[in-house]
Amino acid sequence: MKQIFTLFATAAIALFCGCQKGGDQVEADGPLRLVEFVPQAAGGAATIDGMTDLKASLNFELTPKQRAADLATGWKQALTLTAQCEGQNIVLAITKCRVSASTGMIALTASGSNMPEAFLAGSVTATAVLTVKVGENSVSSAPFSLVRGKTIDDYNGYQKFPQQNELKVMSFNVRVESSESDPANNWSNRKASCIELIKDHKPCIIGFQEAKYTSQWSFFKEQLKDEYDGYGVNRDNGKESGSGEVMGILYNRSKIEKLDGGTFWLSDTPNQVSYGWDAECRRTATWGIFKHKPTGVSFLYINTHLDHKGTQARIKGLEQIARFCGSYSALPIISGDMNIESTNEAFTALTSAMMKNTRDAAPKGQTDNNPTYNAYTINGQSVIDHIYCYKTYEVVEYHTVNERYGTAPYVSDHYPIYAIIKLL
Instruction: Give pLDDT tens digits along the chain (424 positions).
Output: 344 343 433 322 222 222 232 332 222 223 354 433 332 332 222 222 222 333 344 667 777 666 677 776 677 778 888 888 888 887 777 777 777 766 677 777 776 666 676 666 556 777 888 888 877 777 787 777 776 543 333 345 688 999 999 999 999 999 999 999 999 999 999 999 999 999 999 999 999 999 999 999 999 999 999 999 999 999 999 999 999 999 999 999 999 999 999 999 999 999 999 999 999 999 999 999 999 999 999 999 999 999 999 999 999 999 999 999 999 999 999 999 999 999 999 999 999 999 999 999 999 989 998 999 999 987 678 999 999 999 999 999 999 998 888 888 899 999 999 999 999 9
Burial state string for 7-40 with b = 16 or more CB within 10 A and e = fewer than 16: bbbeeeeeeebebbeeeeeeebebbbbbbebebe
Phi, psi for 21 (deg, rounded to 5): -135, 120
CB distance 341 to 373 below 8 Å = no
> How far, in Å, CA of 414 to CA of 173, rounded?
6
Instruction: Please give the backbone phi and psi of residue 381, each rounded to the nearest 5 degrees, phi first.
Output: -125, -60
pLDDT of residue 123: 63
Model's pTM, two decimal places? 0.67
For position 299, what pLDDT does the model report? 98
pLDDT score of 264: 98
CATH number for the domain whose boundaries are 166-422: 3.60.10.10
Residue 171: closest CA among 319, 313, 323, 335: 335
Q: Specify the domain boundaries for CATH 3.60.10.10 within the chain.
A: 166-422
What is the Cα–Cα distance from 120 to 126, expressed in whole angstroms?
11
What's residue 128's pLDDT?
80
pLDDT at 24: 28
